Amino acid sequence: MDWDKLLSEFYIGECFNAYLYFGAHPCQQEGIPGVLFRVYAPNAISIQVIGEFNQWRGDELEQMGQSGVFSRFIPNAQAGQMYKYRVQQGDGRTLDKADPYAFGSQLRPESASIVVDLDQFQFSDQAWMERRNNQYERPMNIYELHLGSWRRKENGEWYTYEELAEPLIQYLLENRFTHVEFLPVMEHPFDGSWGYQVSGFYSATARYGTPCQLMSLIDQLHQHNLGVILDFVPVHFVLNDYALARFDGTPLYEYPDTDTGYSQWGSHNFNYYRGEVRSFLQSAANFWVERFHADGLRMDAVNNALYWQGNPARGVNPGAVEFLKGMNAGLHRLHNGLMLMAEDSSNFPKVTAPVEYGGLGFDYKWDMGWMNDTLSFFEKPFSSRHALYHQLTFSMDYFYNELYLLPLSHDEVVHGKKTIVDKMHGTYEEKFAQARALYIYMYTHPGKKLNFMGNELGHFREWDEEKALDWNLLDYPIHDSLHRYLKELGRLYQTLPALYTKEYHSGYFQWLKTNAQEGCVYAYQRGQGPGSCLILLNLGKEAYQALKVDISEPFSARELLNSDALDWAGSGLVHPTPLSPRKLKKGYRLELPMAPLSACVFQLEEPEKPL
């Protein structure tokens, strides 16, 4: 390794592997085993490393000239031992700081860093890594999960990464998910932040075990053909004294002024105009992909990076834009098949365009507009929905501007917003009927899919990070039927190419004309020719004895899924035999009965007898 080149790239913000240099690295010098410590603190007066290996008394680190890099080899220090840096700051304070590049941390409320030998674990997922790709032409059904509250032990304790592996893999496979997305696994002090206010950007949280145990979990997921997406937070960090805040007595990682230095969440905003900060963040992103084999990174709160304080009225933050472009382009150069996802609620252009074409370089963008419009529609009384008819069609007006992913995420089931099922207007039974229709709409709408854990159970209690999901809901028939229904919908999504191939091509989606638009009936076709899918949604209270749907070709329609089937706690109005179209002067027409608050999916096929 050319350390001089690495350090030069670090200063100018072009380094993607700073963690190889900084941090605590077990090694040997002159045949003596120990640990080499390096930390960057250009405005510190002096730094000591204190830890279990020196009884917390302190060994002075030596600065390399005027580089701002302090280092020392400690003989006989070893993996598993705790340490901190005692930083004598230029502002007169002396603070004990966690290592910004530590690979392990103590469990909160303690805050020491831990020496970790990441080479202790060897992955066995080479076959997966060689064939993974960005899923553009494949189905992607993501299960968003918080490790500490999916399941808990009877005594309320967390399961470890390794203990979760077997039940999680079995559940993901049974429910036809293709990927799992973990809420941030990086170390954080406050459980209630869900990991979004990070203190250890290179440390797998100690809540659920060791970094090697997390590697093992990811390795096992890959061996069962399940992808792993990690939430990554490159926008802000905690204020805690032991972490990055005023690390050397100056605003080293944060903006120096209070107007931009603090975020809306009471944390510090990263200063993207410092090369060392850009190198720190993009190296952290690369670290989770390189060392933990993450298949994707979902970047949180991108809007708050693109605009000063997340407010378009304050203008674009050019330094943040250039940072995101540089990080995304660099990560794609380094890793084939890596997916980068933006949680971005803004109208910033070309988020998912390649950097070389003037874009930000993300692979997917969360469609927050689709999510807000859809949930708002389903919350409204039936009597007012006709006036909101195009609230559901609007998403296709802009869909081809970006590569979108449809999220029903954790943010939609907390803080008084109600859960997905509970958001539905109407009686208890009507809520479930509409939820079933909503999910057909979601899974047949172009775009990849993401659901937060508990959505599939018909959860009525808002998510609480301190409690496991209410698994006993499956003892109730209407909840169990929703759970089974979503399994079947997931299976259908994965096995019908019309629902995922060419989904970002405008020629493979079309709205169809019906005779019941005033009753909130929607009809659309996915795909082209035989094998394409016809989707019908009746989101009003009126039943239809002869709903008329116009199609352009003489295909018969075979029903694949009906949300009103008895199996799913519906009334049983289904279409057991294929429907034959009637020829019109121009085109063809299907006629069929349809239950209120229902949805159905048909496959269009060549008729057995020519019309």
Tokens of 266: 């009471």
Using DSSP bridges, classify how beta strands 404-408 and 448-452 pair: parallel, antiparallel or unpaired.
parallel
Name the DSSP class of 8. H
The single-letter code of the amino acid at 428 is Y
Pair 45, 90: CB distance under 8 Å: yes
3-class DSSP assignment, residue 549: strand
User: What dihedral angle (degrees, nearest 10) is formed by the CA atoms of 123, 124, 130, 136?
Assistant: -80
Give whole-number Cα distances, 518 to 332, 515, 598, in Å.
48, 8, 16
Closest CA to 39 of 59, 24, 54: 24
Write the CA distances from 607 to 128, 292, 326, 555, 584, integer angstroms.
41, 51, 53, 6, 16
The catalytic position among 99, 219, 295, 343 is 343
Strands 533-538 and 582-583: unpaired
- Active site residue: 9, 181, 231, 300, which one? 300
d(CA 331, CA 339): 10
Q: How far is CA 210 from CA 25, 349, 406, in A?
A: 16, 40, 33
List, in sequence order, every residue forming a beta bridge with 582; answer none if it has no partner. 589
CA 49 to chain CA mean position, Å: 36
Known catalytic membership, residue 300: yes
List of E strands, 76-120: 82-88, 94-97, 104-105, 113-114
Q: Which residues contact 582 (CB under 8 A, 6 or more apart)?
A: 588, 589, 590, 591
Alpha carbon 274 to its chain centroid, in Å, reads 27
| Residues 82 and 106: beta-carbon distance below 8 Å | yes
Q: Determine the Cα–Cα distance for residues 15 and 17; give it in Å rounded to an integer.
A: 6
Distance CA 540, CA 574 (A): 17
Strands 296-299 and 339-342: parallel
- Select from 6, 5, 41, 42 the least CA-distant residue to 21: 6
Catalytic site includes residue 343: yes
CA dihedral 223, 224, 225, 227 (to 10 degrees): -80
Whole-number Å distance between alpha carbons of 544 and 568: 20
User: Side-chain half-sphere of 574: how many Cα atoms within 13 Å?
Assistant: 18
Question: With the C-alpha atoms ordered 82, 88, 91, 92, is the resulting torsion angle positive or negative?
Answer: positive
> Which active-site residues does the annotation give?
300, 343
